[in-house]
A = this chain, B = another copy of it.
Amino acid sequence: MTPANTYASLYRDTLLNDVIPFWQNHSLDREMGGFYTCLDRTGQVYDTDKFIWLQARQVWTFAMLYNRVEQRPDWLDVSRHGADFLQRFGRADDGSWYFSLTRDGNPLIQPYNIFSDCFATMAFGQLSLATGSDEQANLAESTFRQILARRDNPKGHWNKAVAGTRPLKNFALPMILCNLALEIEHLLDKSLVEQTIDECIHEVMDVFYDPALGLIRENVTPDGQVSDSFEGRLLNPGHAIEAMWFIMDLAVRRNDRSLLDRAVQLTLQTLEYAWDADFGGLLYFMDANGHPPQQLEWDQKLWWVHVETLISLLKGYQHTGDERCWQWFEKVHDYTWKHFPDPENGEWFGYLNRRGEVLLPLKGGKWKGCFHIPRGLYQGWKTLDAIARNQTVRQ
Protein backbone atom coordinates (compact mmCIF):
# COMPACT_ATOMS: atom_id res chain seq x y z
CA MET A 1 0.00 0.00 0.00
CA THR A 2 1.29 3.40 -1.01
CA PRO A 3 1.33 5.61 2.10
CA ALA A 4 -1.09 8.53 2.22
CA ASN A 5 1.65 11.14 2.37
CA THR A 6 3.04 9.98 -0.97
CA TYR A 7 -0.35 10.53 -2.53
CA ALA A 8 -0.67 13.85 -0.70
CA SER A 9 2.54 15.13 -2.29
CA LEU A 10 1.36 14.08 -5.74
CA TYR A 11 -1.96 15.89 -5.35
CA ARG A 12 -0.30 19.02 -3.94
CA ASP A 13 2.45 19.15 -6.55
CA THR A 14 0.08 18.56 -9.44
CA LEU A 15 -2.19 21.33 -8.16
CA LEU A 16 0.53 23.91 -7.55
CA ASN A 17 3.07 23.09 -10.25
CA ASP A 18 0.92 21.88 -13.12
CA VAL A 19 -2.79 22.67 -13.09
CA ILE A 20 -2.86 26.15 -11.56
CA PRO A 21 0.08 27.46 -13.65
CA PHE A 22 -1.63 26.09 -16.79
CA TRP A 23 -4.68 28.28 -16.17
CA GLN A 24 -2.60 31.25 -15.04
CA ASN A 25 -0.50 31.06 -18.19
CA HIS A 26 -3.20 30.45 -20.76
CA SER A 27 -6.62 31.61 -19.64
CA LEU A 28 -6.42 35.33 -18.86
CA ASP A 29 -7.83 37.68 -21.48
CA ARG A 30 -5.63 40.70 -20.74
CA GLU A 31 -7.35 42.83 -23.35
CA MET A 32 -11.05 42.34 -22.73
CA GLY A 33 -11.02 40.92 -19.20
CA GLY A 34 -12.29 37.62 -17.88
CA PHE A 35 -11.03 34.19 -18.82
CA TYR A 36 -10.70 32.18 -21.96
CA THR A 37 -11.81 28.66 -21.11
CA CYS A 38 -11.74 27.04 -24.54
CA LEU A 39 -8.12 25.89 -24.51
CA ASP A 40 -6.72 23.12 -26.68
CA ARG A 41 -4.31 20.47 -25.47
CA THR A 42 -1.38 22.91 -25.49
CA GLY A 43 -3.33 25.77 -23.91
CA GLN A 44 -4.01 27.69 -27.12
CA VAL A 45 -7.36 29.49 -27.27
CA TYR A 46 -9.71 27.97 -29.86
CA ASP A 47 -12.88 29.88 -28.95
CA THR A 48 -13.40 33.14 -27.07
CA ASP A 49 -16.95 32.85 -25.71
CA LYS A 50 -17.21 33.39 -21.97
CA PHE A 51 -19.44 31.03 -20.04
CA ILE A 52 -20.59 32.35 -16.67
CA TRP A 53 -20.30 28.93 -15.00
CA LEU A 54 -16.63 28.77 -15.85
CA GLN A 55 -15.81 32.45 -15.29
CA ALA A 56 -17.27 32.23 -11.80
CA ARG A 57 -15.71 28.87 -11.01
CA GLN A 58 -12.24 30.14 -11.83
CA VAL A 59 -12.80 33.25 -9.70
CA TRP A 60 -13.75 30.89 -6.88
CA THR A 61 -10.78 28.56 -7.39
CA PHE A 62 -8.13 31.27 -7.20
CA ALA A 63 -9.82 32.99 -4.25
CA MET A 64 -10.10 29.65 -2.45
CA LEU A 65 -6.41 28.93 -2.95
CA TYR A 66 -5.59 32.42 -1.69
CA ASN A 67 -7.79 31.94 1.37
CA ARG A 68 -6.78 28.41 2.24
CA VAL A 69 -3.33 27.65 0.82
CA GLU A 70 -1.29 30.82 0.65
CA GLN A 71 -2.04 34.54 0.31
CA ARG A 72 -0.27 34.87 -3.00
CA PRO A 73 -1.03 38.24 -4.60
CA ASP A 74 -0.91 36.75 -8.10
CA TRP A 75 -3.71 34.33 -7.17
CA LEU A 76 -5.81 37.14 -5.81
CA ASP A 77 -5.15 39.13 -8.98
CA VAL A 78 -6.45 36.29 -11.14
CA SER A 79 -9.58 36.00 -9.05
CA ARG A 80 -10.20 39.75 -9.19
CA HIS A 81 -9.53 39.80 -12.91
CA GLY A 82 -12.45 37.43 -13.47
CA ALA A 83 -14.65 39.07 -10.84
CA ASP A 84 -14.29 42.50 -12.46
CA PHE A 85 -15.47 41.10 -15.77
CA LEU A 86 -18.41 39.33 -14.12
CA GLN A 87 -19.42 42.44 -12.20
CA ARG A 88 -19.36 44.57 -15.34
CA PHE A 89 -21.07 42.24 -17.77
CA GLY A 90 -22.46 39.14 -16.07
CA ARG A 91 -25.93 40.16 -14.96
CA ALA A 92 -29.24 40.90 -16.64
CA ASP A 93 -31.33 43.84 -15.43
CA ASP A 94 -33.13 41.72 -12.85
CA GLY A 95 -29.84 40.67 -11.26
CA SER A 96 -29.90 37.12 -12.61
CA TRP A 97 -26.77 35.85 -14.33
CA TYR A 98 -26.50 35.29 -18.04
CA PHE A 99 -25.37 31.87 -19.24
CA SER A 100 -22.73 33.18 -21.61
CA LEU A 101 -21.18 36.35 -23.01
CA THR A 102 -19.10 37.23 -26.03
CA ARG A 103 -15.42 37.85 -25.53
CA ASP A 104 -16.07 41.56 -24.93
CA GLY A 105 -18.96 40.98 -22.54
CA ASN A 106 -22.08 41.23 -24.67
CA PRO A 107 -24.79 38.86 -23.45
CA LEU A 108 -25.14 35.81 -25.68
CA ILE A 109 -27.35 33.32 -23.85
CA GLN A 110 -30.13 34.36 -21.48
CA PRO A 111 -30.18 33.67 -17.72
CA TYR A 112 -32.11 30.43 -18.13
CA ASN A 113 -29.66 28.40 -16.06
CA ILE A 114 -29.79 28.87 -12.31
CA PHE A 115 -26.37 27.27 -11.85
CA SER A 116 -24.78 30.36 -13.34
CA ASP A 117 -26.18 32.12 -10.26
CA CYS A 118 -24.96 29.34 -7.95
CA PHE A 119 -21.39 29.61 -9.19
CA ALA A 120 -21.49 33.41 -9.11
CA THR A 121 -22.55 33.14 -5.46
CA MET A 122 -19.62 30.84 -4.73
CA ALA A 123 -17.24 33.13 -6.57
CA PHE A 124 -18.18 36.36 -4.85
CA GLY A 125 -18.62 34.68 -1.48
CA GLN A 126 -15.13 33.22 -1.59
CA LEU A 127 -13.55 36.37 -3.01
CA SER A 128 -15.20 38.57 -0.40
CA LEU A 129 -13.43 36.50 2.26
CA ALA A 130 -10.13 37.48 0.69
CA THR A 131 -10.86 41.12 -0.03
CA GLY A 132 -13.33 42.08 2.67
CA SER A 133 -15.29 43.88 -0.04
CA ASP A 134 -18.86 44.67 0.97
CA GLU A 135 -19.87 44.97 -2.65
CA GLN A 136 -18.69 41.45 -3.39
CA ALA A 137 -20.28 40.11 -0.22
CA ASN A 138 -23.58 41.77 -1.07
CA LEU A 139 -23.49 40.39 -4.58
CA ALA A 140 -23.02 36.85 -3.25
CA GLU A 141 -25.74 37.23 -0.66
CA SER A 142 -28.30 38.85 -2.99
CA THR A 143 -27.64 36.25 -5.67
CA PHE A 144 -28.13 33.48 -3.11
CA ARG A 145 -31.49 34.95 -2.12
CA GLN A 146 -32.53 35.12 -5.77
CA ILE A 147 -31.66 31.45 -6.15
CA LEU A 148 -33.88 30.56 -3.22
CA ALA A 149 -36.70 32.65 -4.69
CA ARG A 150 -36.36 30.98 -8.11
CA ARG A 151 -35.77 27.45 -6.90
CA ASP A 152 -39.27 26.12 -7.57
CA ASN A 153 -39.24 27.25 -11.21
CA PRO A 154 -35.58 27.75 -12.03
CA LYS A 155 -35.94 27.84 -15.81
CA GLY A 156 -38.79 30.40 -15.83
CA HIS A 157 -40.32 30.90 -19.27
CA TRP A 158 -37.50 28.93 -20.88
CA ASN A 159 -38.98 25.80 -19.34
CA LYS A 160 -40.26 23.61 -22.18
CA ALA A 161 -42.22 21.20 -20.00
CA VAL A 162 -45.99 21.74 -19.95
CA ALA A 163 -46.86 22.65 -16.36
CA GLY A 164 -48.71 19.99 -14.47
CA THR A 165 -48.46 17.02 -16.82
CA ARG A 166 -45.41 15.42 -15.31
CA PRO A 167 -43.92 17.67 -12.66
CA LEU A 168 -40.44 16.61 -11.68
CA LYS A 169 -37.75 18.12 -9.53
CA ASN A 170 -34.07 17.79 -10.25
CA PHE A 171 -31.31 16.69 -7.92
CA ALA A 172 -28.73 19.27 -8.93
CA LEU A 173 -30.12 22.28 -7.10
CA PRO A 174 -30.60 20.81 -3.60
CA MET A 175 -27.23 19.13 -4.01
CA ILE A 176 -25.46 22.37 -4.83
CA LEU A 177 -27.31 24.28 -2.13
CA CYS A 178 -25.76 21.87 0.43
CA ASN A 179 -22.37 23.15 -0.57
CA LEU A 180 -23.38 26.74 -1.23
CA ALA A 181 -24.81 27.34 2.21
CA LEU A 182 -21.44 26.46 3.73
CA GLU A 183 -19.54 28.45 1.11
CA ILE A 184 -21.27 31.70 2.08
CA GLU A 185 -22.03 30.91 5.69
CA HIS A 186 -20.14 34.06 6.70
CA LEU A 187 -22.71 36.15 4.84
CA LEU A 188 -25.95 34.57 6.04
CA ASP A 189 -28.00 34.51 9.22
CA LYS A 190 -27.26 31.38 11.17
CA SER A 191 -30.91 30.36 11.05
CA LEU A 192 -31.02 30.58 7.24
CA VAL A 193 -27.86 28.49 7.02
CA GLU A 194 -29.19 25.79 9.31
CA GLN A 195 -32.59 25.77 7.64
CA THR A 196 -31.04 25.45 4.19
CA ILE A 197 -28.79 22.64 5.37
CA ASP A 198 -31.71 20.79 6.95
CA GLU A 199 -33.71 21.00 3.77
CA CYS A 200 -30.80 19.94 1.57
CA ILE A 201 -29.85 16.93 3.66
CA HIS A 202 -33.48 15.84 3.67
CA GLU A 203 -33.83 16.29 -0.09
CA VAL A 204 -30.61 14.49 -0.97
CA MET A 205 -30.76 11.62 1.51
CA ASP A 206 -34.50 11.01 1.84
CA VAL A 207 -36.22 12.40 -1.25
CA PHE A 208 -33.84 11.72 -4.15
CA TYR A 209 -32.36 8.62 -2.55
CA ASP A 210 -34.43 5.62 -3.57
CA PRO A 211 -34.06 2.94 -0.87
CA ALA A 212 -35.48 0.18 -3.08
CA LEU A 213 -32.81 0.94 -5.65
CA GLY A 214 -30.04 1.85 -3.21
CA LEU A 215 -29.14 4.82 -5.40
CA ILE A 216 -29.93 8.50 -5.88
CA ARG A 217 -32.22 9.36 -8.78
CA GLU A 218 -31.55 12.46 -10.85
CA ASN A 219 -35.26 13.42 -11.02
CA VAL A 220 -38.27 12.56 -8.84
CA THR A 221 -41.87 13.76 -8.55
CA PRO A 222 -42.53 16.77 -6.29
CA ASP A 223 -43.48 14.40 -3.46
CA GLY A 224 -40.39 12.27 -3.98
CA GLN A 225 -41.91 9.37 -5.87
CA VAL A 226 -40.48 7.46 -8.81
CA SER A 227 -41.47 8.62 -12.29
CA ASP A 228 -41.24 5.82 -14.84
CA SER A 229 -39.96 8.09 -17.59
CA PHE A 230 -36.59 8.81 -19.18
CA GLU A 231 -35.98 11.59 -16.67
CA GLY A 232 -37.29 9.58 -13.72
CA ARG A 233 -35.14 6.55 -14.54
CA LEU A 234 -32.01 8.63 -15.07
CA LEU A 235 -28.96 8.01 -12.88
CA ASN A 236 -25.94 10.30 -12.89
CA PRO A 237 -23.51 8.40 -10.69
CA GLY A 238 -20.82 11.08 -10.59
CA HIS A 239 -23.38 13.62 -9.49
CA ALA A 240 -24.63 11.40 -6.67
CA ILE A 241 -21.10 10.62 -5.49
CA GLU A 242 -20.09 14.30 -5.59
CA ALA A 243 -23.09 15.11 -3.39
CA MET A 244 -21.87 12.58 -0.85
CA TRP A 245 -18.80 14.61 0.07
CA PHE A 246 -20.95 17.69 0.50
CA ILE A 247 -23.10 15.59 2.84
CA MET A 248 -20.01 14.26 4.64
CA ASP A 249 -18.86 17.85 5.24
CA LEU A 250 -22.26 18.65 6.73
CA ALA A 251 -22.26 15.46 8.80
CA VAL A 252 -18.85 16.32 10.25
CA ARG A 253 -20.00 19.83 11.02
CA ARG A 254 -23.05 18.44 12.83
CA ASN A 255 -21.11 15.58 14.36
CA ASP A 256 -23.72 13.24 12.89
CA ARG A 257 -22.04 9.83 12.60
CA SER A 258 -25.14 8.15 11.27
CA LEU A 259 -25.39 10.62 8.38
CA LEU A 260 -21.69 10.16 7.71
CA ASP A 261 -22.05 6.39 7.54
CA ARG A 262 -25.01 6.67 5.18
CA ALA A 263 -23.04 8.97 2.88
CA VAL A 264 -20.11 6.54 2.83
CA GLN A 265 -22.38 3.59 2.16
CA LEU A 266 -24.15 5.43 -0.65
CA THR A 267 -20.82 6.38 -2.22
CA LEU A 268 -19.75 2.75 -2.28
CA GLN A 269 -23.09 1.49 -3.58
CA THR A 270 -23.08 4.01 -6.41
CA LEU A 271 -19.50 3.22 -7.28
CA GLU A 272 -20.15 -0.51 -7.44
CA TYR A 273 -23.19 0.10 -9.63
CA ALA A 274 -21.52 2.49 -12.06
CA TRP A 275 -18.01 1.06 -12.32
CA ASP A 276 -17.39 -0.21 -15.84
CA ALA A 277 -16.30 -3.83 -15.38
CA ASP A 278 -15.14 -4.05 -18.99
CA PHE A 279 -12.93 -1.00 -19.36
CA GLY A 280 -12.64 0.55 -15.91
CA GLY A 281 -13.81 4.01 -14.91
CA LEU A 282 -17.26 5.25 -14.02
CA LEU A 283 -20.05 5.48 -16.57
CA TYR A 284 -21.56 8.91 -17.08
CA PHE A 285 -25.31 8.14 -17.28
CA MET A 286 -27.37 5.03 -16.60
CA ASP A 287 -31.03 4.03 -16.62
CA ALA A 288 -32.27 2.66 -13.31
CA ASN A 289 -34.21 -0.07 -15.09
CA GLY A 290 -31.36 -0.94 -17.44
CA HIS A 291 -33.09 0.59 -20.46
CA PRO A 292 -31.19 2.64 -23.03
CA PRO A 293 -30.74 6.18 -21.71
CA GLN A 294 -31.35 9.17 -23.99
CA GLN A 295 -27.85 10.52 -23.44
CA LEU A 296 -25.64 9.38 -26.30
CA GLU A 297 -22.58 10.15 -24.13
CA TRP A 298 -23.73 7.70 -21.45
CA ASP A 299 -20.68 5.43 -21.60
CA GLN A 300 -18.01 8.14 -21.65
CA LYS A 301 -15.52 8.71 -18.84
CA LEU A 302 -15.51 12.31 -17.62
CA TRP A 303 -12.86 14.05 -15.58
CA TRP A 304 -15.20 15.55 -12.99
CA VAL A 305 -16.90 12.24 -12.24
CA HIS A 306 -13.59 10.67 -11.32
CA VAL A 307 -12.19 13.66 -9.44
CA GLU A 308 -15.32 14.01 -7.31
CA THR A 309 -15.31 10.29 -6.59
CA LEU A 310 -11.75 10.52 -5.28
CA ILE A 311 -12.81 13.26 -2.86
CA SER A 312 -15.77 11.30 -1.52
CA LEU A 313 -13.69 8.17 -1.03
CA LEU A 314 -10.92 10.05 0.77
CA LYS A 315 -13.32 11.92 3.04
CA GLY A 316 -15.13 8.69 3.73
CA TYR A 317 -11.89 7.00 4.70
CA GLN A 318 -10.70 9.98 6.73
CA HIS A 319 -13.83 10.16 8.84
CA THR A 320 -14.84 6.51 9.17
CA GLY A 321 -11.69 4.49 8.52
CA ASP A 322 -13.74 2.17 6.29
CA GLU A 323 -11.11 0.17 4.43
CA ARG A 324 -13.41 -0.25 1.42
CA CYS A 325 -13.05 3.51 0.86
CA TRP A 326 -9.26 3.24 0.75
CA GLN A 327 -9.32 0.22 -1.57
CA TRP A 328 -11.71 1.94 -3.95
CA PHE A 329 -9.67 5.15 -3.68
CA GLU A 330 -6.55 3.35 -4.90
CA LYS A 331 -8.48 1.74 -7.76
CA VAL A 332 -10.12 5.00 -8.89
CA HIS A 333 -6.87 6.91 -8.36
CA ASP A 334 -5.02 4.48 -10.63
CA TYR A 335 -7.62 4.75 -13.36
CA THR A 336 -7.81 8.53 -13.08
CA TRP A 337 -4.10 9.24 -13.07
CA LYS A 338 -3.44 6.78 -15.85
CA HIS A 339 -6.01 8.24 -18.22
CA PHE A 340 -6.76 11.92 -17.59
CA PRO A 341 -3.46 13.82 -17.08
CA ASP A 342 -1.51 15.04 -20.11
CA PRO A 343 2.16 14.97 -19.03
CA GLU A 344 3.23 16.38 -22.39
CA ASN A 345 1.39 19.69 -22.17
CA GLY A 346 0.14 19.85 -18.60
CA GLU A 347 -3.38 19.79 -17.14
CA TRP A 348 -5.87 16.99 -17.78
CA PHE A 349 -8.05 15.83 -20.59
CA GLY A 350 -11.73 15.97 -19.76
CA TYR A 351 -13.55 13.64 -22.08
CA LEU A 352 -12.56 10.03 -22.71
CA ASN A 353 -14.47 7.37 -24.57
CA ARG A 354 -15.54 4.17 -22.88
CA ARG A 355 -12.14 2.61 -23.48
CA GLY A 356 -10.40 5.52 -21.77
CA GLU A 357 -9.04 7.01 -25.01
CA VAL A 358 -9.12 10.80 -25.44
CA LEU A 359 -12.40 11.76 -27.11
CA LEU A 360 -11.91 15.52 -27.25
CA PRO A 361 -8.32 16.80 -27.05
CA LEU A 362 -9.16 19.89 -25.03
CA LYS A 363 -8.17 21.21 -21.65
CA GLY A 364 -11.15 23.49 -21.44
CA GLY A 365 -14.39 24.17 -23.28
CA LYS A 366 -17.99 25.10 -22.63
CA TRP A 367 -18.20 22.99 -19.47
CA LYS A 368 -14.65 22.16 -18.43
CA GLY A 369 -12.67 24.98 -16.85
CA CYS A 370 -10.51 25.68 -13.85
CA PHE A 371 -12.64 24.04 -11.17
CA HIS A 372 -13.13 20.31 -10.57
CA ILE A 373 -9.50 19.31 -11.02
CA PRO A 374 -7.95 22.02 -8.81
CA ARG A 375 -10.73 21.68 -6.22
CA GLY A 376 -10.31 17.92 -6.23
CA LEU A 377 -6.54 18.11 -5.99
CA TYR A 378 -6.81 20.58 -3.11
CA GLN A 379 -9.41 18.47 -1.28
CA GLY A 380 -7.41 15.33 -1.98
CA TRP A 381 -4.15 16.85 -0.77
CA LYS A 382 -5.65 18.13 2.48
CA THR A 383 -7.60 14.97 3.18
CA LEU A 384 -4.61 12.77 2.43
CA ASP A 385 -2.53 14.95 4.76
CA ALA A 386 -5.05 14.34 7.53
CA ILE A 387 -5.07 10.61 6.78
CA ALA A 388 -1.26 10.56 6.86
CA ARG A 389 -1.24 12.27 10.26
CA ASN A 390 -3.63 9.64 11.58
CA GLN A 391 -1.45 6.90 10.11
CA THR A 392 1.56 8.40 11.88
CA VAL A 393 -0.35 8.56 15.14
CA ARG A 394 -1.40 4.94 14.77
CA GLN A 395 2.12 3.73 14.06
Q: Cβ of A153 < 8 Å from any Cβ of B?
A: no
Q: Cβ of A160 < 8 Å from any Cβ of B?
A: yes
User: How would residues 103 to 124 of chain A score, 1 for a CB under 8 Å from any chain B CB and 0 otherwise?
Assistant: 0001111101000000000000
Q: Cβ of A338 < 8 Å from any Cβ of B?
A: no
Report the minimal beta-carbon distance from A222 to chain B, rounded to whole angstroms. 16
B359 touches A296 (CB 8 A): yes
Q: Nearest 5 pairs between A and B by C-beta?
A: A296-B297, A292-B360, A46-B291, A292-B362, A107-B162
Binding site for B on A (CB under 8 A): 38, 40, 46-47, 49, 98-99, 102, 106-110, 112, 157-158, 160-162, 165-166, 229-230, 289, 291-294, 296-300, 351, 353-354, 359-362, 365-366
A110 touches B162 (CB 8 A): yes
Report the minimal beta-carbon distance from A75 to chain B, rounded to whole angstroms. 28
CA distance A293 to B360 in the complex (A): 8
Among candidates B108, B292, B297, residue contacting A46 with C-beta atoms closer than 8 Å: B292
A108 touches B162 (CB 8 A): yes
Report the minimal beta-carbon distance from A77 to chain B, rounded to whole angstroms. 29
Main secondary structure of the interface of A (DSSP, over half): loop
Report the minimal beta-carbon distance from A363 to chain B, rounded to whole angstroms. 10
CA distance A59 to B366 in the complex (A): 39
List of B residues within 8 angstroms of A47 by Cβ: 229-230, 291
CA distance A70 to B381 in the complex (A): 71
Report the minimal beta-carbon distance from A250 to chain B, rounded to whole angstroms. 32
Report the minimal beta-carbon distance from A339 to chain B, rounded to whole angstroms. 16
CB-based nearest B residue for A365: B292
Report the minimal beta-carbon distance from A45 to chain B, rounded to whole angstroms. 10
A294 touches B230 (CB 8 A): no
CA distance A360 to B287 in the complex (A): 12
Among candidates B294, B298, B354, residue contacting A366 with C-beta atoms closer than 8 Å: B294
Among candidates B107, B165, B292, B359, residue contacting A108 with C-beta atoms closer than 8 Å: B165
List of B residues within 8 angstroms of A99 by Cβ: 160
CB-based nearest B residue for A230: B47
Q: Can you name 30 A-B pairs with beta carbons within 8 Å?
A: A38-B291, A40-B291, A46-B289, A46-B292, A49-B230, A98-B162, A106-B162, A106-B165, A107-B165, A108-B162, A108-B166, A109-B160, A110-B161, A110-B162, A157-B158, A158-B158, A158-B160, A230-B366, A292-B362, A292-B365, A293-B360, A294-B366, A296-B296, A296-B300, A296-B351, A297-B297, A298-B360, A299-B353, A299-B359, A353-B354
CB-based nearest B residue for A366: B294
CB-based nearest B residue for A354: B353
List of B residues within 8 angstroms of A49 by Cβ: 229-230
CA distance A157 to B156 in the complex (A): 11
